[in-house]
Amino acid sequence: MAEIGIGIIGGGYMGKAHAVAMQAVGAVFDTALRPRLEMVAASSDQSAERYAKSFGFARSTGDWRRLVADPRVEAVIIASPPETHLEIMRAVAREGKPVFCEKPLGACLNDARAMVDLAEGAGVVNMIGFNYIRTPAAQFARNLIAEGAIGDVTWFRGEHTEDFYADPDAPATWRAKGQSNGCMGDLAPHMVNAALALIGPVRSVMAEIETVHKTRGGDPVENDDQGQIMCRFTSGAMGHLFFSRTATGRKMGYIYEVTGTKGAIRFNQEDQNSIWLYKAEGPEAERGFKQILTGPAHPDYLPFCQGPGHGTGYQDQIIIEARDFLSAIEAGTALWPTFRDGLAASEIIEAARQSHRAGAWTSVTTPQG
């Protein structure tokens, strides 16, 4: 059974999640490629060494360049701040190594475009981290829509709402600096990706974006707290998206509703192990939304658990991502979602920013998907 040396740049929230996933994925999915945690890079030698001991890496470094160039690191996971992604990708492309990058793809739209050009120019396997669309329930919902179970889609409503910055007295940390760390850079890409995956390309948008708390502890807030987008999909369906990091009481509000001519679907990430399905069939008196609990009959559930209704969790989404990344490496070809899919989300978010500034509907001109 072949091994592959994994290098992870960043040891924080997502760096740890990917390290744990790479340790577990072989046992969960019986992958042909078995990851070996070869090296972790962080902002200092001391923190990198601490991460290596905690997560089980063979080696560590305070210089990500050493990690990318190391011959025993055969695939790279970028889990560092967005403003570092492009420079890292330049080095990865030169080495010709498979790469997984956390969203957003770059610190700005131009960075995202450059990331795609580098990956495709070098011919390397590339994938972006949109984990929430990979839950068994979300995969099932996507299949139902694609199969026409709810008819032609006429309406989509999605939100990604959390309250980690709802307190106006919370200090101005790194989250208050740089567009990519604001709500539209941090939270919006997930739900925009969901809209693209479930419904398809977006033709035009009308958006409003605002900073709710303009100062924190006397320091200015440089980015946005919430935003909303009205959109028209290429299919003709209408949509509305809302994103907020100041949504008091909402912990993981990755929520969507899809309305079709023959039925409807509802999903809430705070109850990630079920979907609600309505079908316009049967006696009127017996119609209603039906809760479907995920189980072994649903995509990517059985490898984790044999019991219906027992559920999967956040870390399991990352393990599914790890399986997909390893499958792409084994096949030698990029699999969904690729950097280009990350760019599609960035293009829509930039169109939303332009719409907000102009106060008008704005076309999304770059092909998506």
Q: pLDDT digits over 177-229, tens only?
A: 999 999 999 999 999 999 999 999 999 999 999 999 999 999 999 999 999 99
Q: How confident is the model at residue 365 (pLDDT cuts 50, 70, 90)?
A: confident
Q: Provide the pLDDT for residue 43.
A: 95
The edge-to-edge listing of strands for the beta sheet with 362-363 is 290-293, 274-279, 263-268, 253-260, 153-161, 238-244, 226-233, 202-210, 362-363
* Section 273-284 average pLDDT: 96
Asked whether the predicted pLDDT for residue 117 surpasses 80, the reply is: yes
pTM of the predicted protein model: 0.96
Q: What is the 3-class SS of the chain, one letter each residue?
A: CEEEEEEEECCCHHHHHHHHHHHHHHHHHCCCEEEEEEEEECCCHHHHHHHHHHHCCCEEECCHHHHHHCCCCCEEEECCCHHHHHHHHHHHHHHCCCEEEECCCCCCHHHHHHHHHHHHHHCCCEEEECCHHHCHHHHHHHHHHHCCCCCCEEEEEEEEECCCCCCCCCCCCHHHCCHHHCHHHHCHHHHHHHHHHHCCCEEEEEEEEECCCCEECCEECCCCCEEEEEEEECCCCEEEEEEECCCCCCCCEEEEEEEECCEEEEEEHHHCCEEEEEECCCCHHHCCCEEEECCCCCCCCCCCCCCCCCCCCHHHHHHHHHHHHHHHHHHCCCCCCCHHHHHHHHHHHHHHHHHHHHCCCEECCCCCC
* Section 249-260 average pLDDT: 97
In percent, the amount of the chain with pLDDT more than 90 equals 98
Q: Provide the pLDDT for residue 74.
A: 98
Asked whether the predicted pLDDT for residue 366 surpasses 90, the reply is: no
Asked whether the predicted pLDDT for residue 369 surpasses 60, the reply is: no
Asked whether the predicted pLDDT for residue 68 surpasses 90, the reply is: yes
* Section 47-68 average pLDDT: 98
Q: How confident is the model at residue 25 (pLDDT cuts 50, 70, 90)?
A: very high
Q: Provide the pLDDT for residue 116.
A: 98
Domains, the chain: 2-132 (3.40.50.720), 133-310+345-362 (3.30.360.10)
